[in-house]
Chains A and B, each alone.
Chain A
Amino acid sequence: MTNVQELQRIVGGDWVTTKREQIESYLMDEVYVAVRPQPSNDVVVVKPANTEEISKIMKLANREKIPVYPRGGGTGLLGGAVPTQDGIVLSLERLDRVEEVDKDNLMVVVQAGVTLGDLLKAVEDEDLLFPPHPGDEGAQVGGMVACNAGGTRAVKYGVVRNYVKGLEVVLPTGEILNMGGKLLKNNTGLDLMHLLIDSEGILGIITKVIFRLYPRFAGIATLVVSWDDRHAAIRTVPKILQSGVIPLAMEYVERDVIEISAEHLGLKWPAAKGKAHLIVIVSGSSEDDVYSQCQQISDVCQEHGAVDTLIAERKEEQAEILKMRSEIYTPLKSRMADGLDITVPPANVGKVFDAIEEIAKRFGVTVHTFGHAADGNLHPSIMMDAVEKGVFKEVKKEIYRAAADLGGVVSGEHGVGKARLGEFDLYVDAKSKELMRGMKRLFDPNNILNPGTAIM
């Protein structure tokens, strides 16, 4: 019996695809042009219906030593889901059920293929809240956990990792493992669950997730604060946090870039004054609570040179602002060589901006930078002119060097995937790499699960 037939026997004939036109969309993710890995042509796409089928597929693959590439929404930015060797793309799209919204424990149990959009809706329908918002709502929760997605709301509530309370995982060798549960405290042995989070699909296939939920905010508002000067805007960020208010999100954008995004979406950027803006999202226990926080933020901003503060309270107005920010790289993408994901200690954000500007100027290239101002995570976008001038790699290297010199890392939220392996090798120390490789061997002795990803 061939492997394809055996796969068909496991999941049913309709759910195994080898036709080129049907697998095309499973070969790539959102990885940037200049760092795009080459997908293999000889790939079988398998769409199992449940954990047991996935377990059987992994047993088969492990026995035959066939590489398996787990795939969620395909919204990753570093080629993590791209099948670079002949093998199986294992799509989790049929595991799309929200199993339970547990109001008493404030938890939700979801299968790995549930999209962020569906998760948010299911939770909101019960008047509860899943606080993080990593951006693209087509992302699937399995991928969000495997990549420990971040996003704009990390300032107050942290990244996806902070919400994961339980996982069901299929190991590369086929065993099904349950980690954690509806528990708020769990110190029993080493924490394998947190090892799986951000493992980029190389240690196991996440099939089910238990997330912690929160009560819905009673009030939420978005401020758009404007400055004439970038440094004044960025300097204000720690001052806001020091004043005692922790906003849900603080995003830094420059007018010339956000206006491109607005135009692309057919929207209008609301701020008419200034050229450097902070988008500050504030949540609170009541409308008065939100106003008093906004007041405090507005006062601090004014003390630090803000020229205008606008407020959006209507849901659609706030959603439009967030959309312009979330999709800021969509219109840039066709001209974008690479979008970096450096993270520095928050107090060094201003310095790293300066350094990037200096590098771009020195090489005579365009680098648009925006990012999560309060958590030090920035996305410098190196545009195609750097490639055309033949300096792309040097520009990138210098930006990484600048970030490292300021105490930063290569990736804050996008991960390593297949496109940042070189940087991983350069910036991670030898002993750490050795431990990571050892861990991979222990979970996946035949190196069949998403090989060539996250570590090297």
Chain B
Amino acid sequence: MISIVVPIKQVPDMERVKFDKEKGTVDRSSAPGEINPFDLNALEAAVQIKEKLGATVTTVSMGPPQAEAALRDALSRGADRGILLVDRAFAGADTWATSYTLASAIQRLGQTDLIVCGEKTVDGDTGQVGPEIAEWLDIPHVAYVSEIKNVGEKMVVVCDMEGDRYLMESRFPLLITVTKDINSPRLPSFSDKLKARKAEIEKCTAEELSAVADASRFGLKGSPTRLNKVIVPSEEGRKGEIFRGNPEETALRLADALKEGGLSENVK
């Protein structure tokens, strides 16, 4: 039976989340957390493989204790196991430390044939963590997969990159990151939801993970990225203005207004 791992992240509801303009950080208490939407596509892809060929689907998440809710949601949508990497030592991680920690957790699980990630998270938006996990584990990866053609001895997928489509084939173990086009994530049934609410979520601390990893690479201290400044752009509303006069004059004034507003540099 194939063993599949789906790393997931709990992200704030991006429509509701507020930004702390002073500190330049996301105020995570301002919106409830949920599974990163791209990770739902990853999970759906994994569950479809499970339904077709038989597989175990394990979801792994690194996050605060509240991230348990995201793992429960994943269980209700067809995952078999949920593991939460939860420790203060993991906090403040950039993509480098995050991918190292997740890769270590996957290594600790033992034999894994396929890792399916969402193409990126909606809060970080880097798209780096998936491919970096593959690099840490020294396995091949295909990013931006929009279609799975075949899963057999090898895996054949279609990936969309920079406007082109590629047909790719790989041996296992393999990591893929998937786009939103790959599927429509299912809704959980209510009874599965209830079961997931009571299910056990396995926890893994930094100390436990140290058996297979270098703890100095976790969290903030393992992160080479330094954040100097974050600017939250302010929203500007519409500014209506009516120009009157002869067409030539008004056209010139319109051009000036566009330049002033930074909307166009090359109006002639």
Q: Which residues of A contact B (CB under 8 A)?
A: 14, 223-224, 267-268, 270, 291, 294-295, 298, 308-317
Contact of B194 among A224, A295, A313 (CB under 8 A): A295
Given A295-B194, A315-B13, residue A310 in contact with residue B184 (CB < 8 A) = no
Interface size class of chain B, counting residues whose CB lies under 8 Å from the partner chain: 10 to 19
- A267 surroundings in chain B (CB, below 8 A): 184
Complex Cα–Cα for A315 and B242 (A): 40
Contact of A298 among B184, B186, B187, B190 (CB under 8 A): B190
Please encode chain B, from 32 to 46, with 1 for each CB lying within 8 Å of some chain A CB and 0 for all others.
001101000000000
Would B190 and A270 count as touching, CB distance under 8 A? Answer: no
Complex Cα–Cα for A316 and B188 (A): 14
Would B15 and A310 count as touching, CB distance under 8 A? Answer: no
Assess whether B193 is interfacial by the CB under 8 Å rule.
Answer: yes
Complex Cα–Cα for A294 and B190 (A): 8
What are 7 pairs between A and B in contact, CB < 8 Å? A224-B187, A270-B187, A295-B194, A309-B189, A310-B188, A313-B73, A314-B35
Contact of A310 among B35, B187, B194, B197 (CB under 8 A): B187
Assess whether B191 is interfacial by the CB under 8 Å rule.
Answer: yes
Given A14-B242, A295-B194, A316-B37, residue A311 in contact with residue B186 (CB < 8 A) = no
Of all chain A residues, which has the CB nearest B35? A314
Would B34 and A311 count as touching, CB distance under 8 A? Answer: no
Prevailing SS type, chain A contact patch: mixed
Of all chain B residues, which has the CB nearest A222? B187
Of all chain B residues, which has the CB nearest A294? B190
Complex Cα–Cα for A308 and B186 (A): 13
Complex Cα–Cα for A310 and B187 (A): 6
Would B189 and A311 count as touching, CB distance under 8 A? Answer: yes
Complex Cα–Cα for A308 and B192 (A): 11
Prevailing SS type, chain B contact patch: mixed
- A14 surroundings in chain B (CB, below 8 A): 242
Would A308 and B189 count as touching, CB distance under 8 A? Answer: yes
Complex Cα–Cα for A157 and B157 (A): 49
Complex Cα–Cα for A221 and B230 (A): 35
Contact of B187 among A291, A295, A311 (CB under 8 A): A311
- B191 surroundings in chain A (CB, below 8 A): 298, 309
Interface residues of B in 7-63 (CB under 8 A from A): 13, 15-16, 34-35, 37
- A310 surroundings in chain B (CB, below 8 A): 187-190
Complex Cα–Cα for A294 and B197 (A): 14
- B186 surroundings in chain A (CB, below 8 A): 270
Would A311 and B193 count as touching, CB distance under 8 A? Answer: yes
Would A314 and B190 count as touching, CB distance under 8 A? Answer: no
- A313 surroundings in chain B (CB, below 8 A): 73
Please encode chain B, from 168 to 203, with 1 for each CB lying within 8 Å of some chain A CB and 0 for all others.
000000000000000010111111011001000000
Of all chain A residues, which has the CB nearest B193? A311
- A291 surroundings in chain B (CB, below 8 A): 194, 197
Candidate in B16, B184, B190 with the most chain A CB atoms within 10 angstroms: B190
- In the assembled complex, the CB of A300 is this many whole angstroms from the nearest CB of chain B, namely 12
Of all chain B residues, which has the CB nearest A321? B187
- In the assembled complex, the CB of B70 is this many whole angstroms from the nearest CB of chain A, namely 11
Would B190 and A309 count as touching, CB distance under 8 A? Answer: yes
Of all chain A residues, which has the CB nearest B186? A270
Would A315 and B187 count as touching, CB distance under 8 A? Answer: no
- A308 surroundings in chain B (CB, below 8 A): 189
Complex Cα–Cα for A268 and B190 (A): 19
- A298 surroundings in chain B (CB, below 8 A): 190-191
Complex Cα–Cα for A136 and B67 (A): 36
Of all chain B residues, which has the CB nearest A298? B190
- In the assembled complex, the CB of A398 is this many whole angstroms from the nearest CB of chain B, namely 38
Of all chain B residues, which has the CB nearest A223? B190
A-B complex: 5 closest residue pairs judged by Cβ atoms: A310-B187, A268-B184, A309-B190, A270-B187, A311-B190
Complex Cα–Cα for A291 and B13 (A): 20
- A270 surroundings in chain B (CB, below 8 A): 186-187
Contacts A310-B188, A311-B187, A314-B34 known; 12 new A-B pairs at CB < 8 A: A223-B190, A224-B187, A294-B190, A298-B190, A298-B191, A308-B189, A309-B191, A311-B193, A313-B73, A314-B35, A315-B15, A317-B187
- In the assembled complex, the CB of B47 is this many whole angstroms from the nearest CB of chain A, namely 14
- B15 surroundings in chain A (CB, below 8 A): 315
- B242 surroundings in chain A (CB, below 8 A): 14
Of all chain A residues, which has the CB nearest B13? A315
- A317 surroundings in chain B (CB, below 8 A): 187
Interface residues of B in 77-91 (CB under 8 A from A): none
Complex Cα–Cα for A224 and B190 (A): 9
- In the assembled complex, the CB of A14 is this many whole angstroms from the nearest CB of chain B, namely 7
Complex Cα–Cα for A207 and B73 (A): 46
Candidate in B13, B73, B186, B193 with the most chain A CB atoms within 10 angstroms: B193
- In the assembled complex, the CB of B184 is this many whole angstroms from the nearest CB of chain A, namely 4
- A314 surroundings in chain B (CB, below 8 A): 34-35
- B188 surroundings in chain A (CB, below 8 A): 310-311
Complex Cα–Cα for A315 and B34 (A): 10
Complex Cα–Cα for A296 and B197 (A): 16
Complex Cα–Cα for A309 and B193 (A): 10
Complex Cα–Cα for A270 and B188 (A): 10
Complex Cα–Cα for A310 and B189 (A): 4
- In the assembled complex, the CB of B51 is this many whole angstroms from the nearest CB of chain A, namely 12
- B197 surroundings in chain A (CB, below 8 A): 291
Complex Cα–Cα for A94 and B242 (A): 15
Complex Cα–Cα for A177 and B187 (A): 51
- In the assembled complex, the CB of A295 is this many whole angstroms from the nearest CB of chain B, namely 7
- In the assembled complex, the CB of B242 is this many whole angstroms from the nearest CB of chain A, namely 7
Complex Cα–Cα for A311 and B194 (A): 10
Complex Cα–Cα for A309 and B197 (A): 16
- B13 surroundings in chain A (CB, below 8 A): 315
- A309 surroundings in chain B (CB, below 8 A): 189-191
Of all chain A residues, which has the CB nearest B244? A14
- B16 surroundings in chain A (CB, below 8 A): 315
Complex Cα–Cα for A315 and B31 (A): 12
- In the assembled complex, the CB of B229 is this many whole angstroms from the nearest CB of chain A, namely 27
- In the assembled complex, the CB of B234 is this many whole angstroms from the nearest CB of chain A, namely 15
Complex Cα–Cα for A315 and B37 (A): 11
Complex Cα–Cα for A180 and B188 (A): 46
Complex Cα–Cα for A224 and B188 (A): 10
Complex Cα–Cα for A14 and B240 (A): 13
- In the assembled complex, the CB of A339 is this many whole angstroms from the nearest CB of chain B, namely 28
Of all chain A residues, which has the CB nearest B183? A268
- In the assembled complex, the CB of B173 is this many whole angstroms from the nearest CB of chain A, namely 31
- A315 surroundings in chain B (CB, below 8 A): 13, 15-16
Please encode chain B, from 216 to 256, with 1 for each CB lying within 8 Å of some chain A CB and 0 for all others.
00000000000000000000000000100000000000000
Complex Cα–Cα for A437 and B34 (A): 56
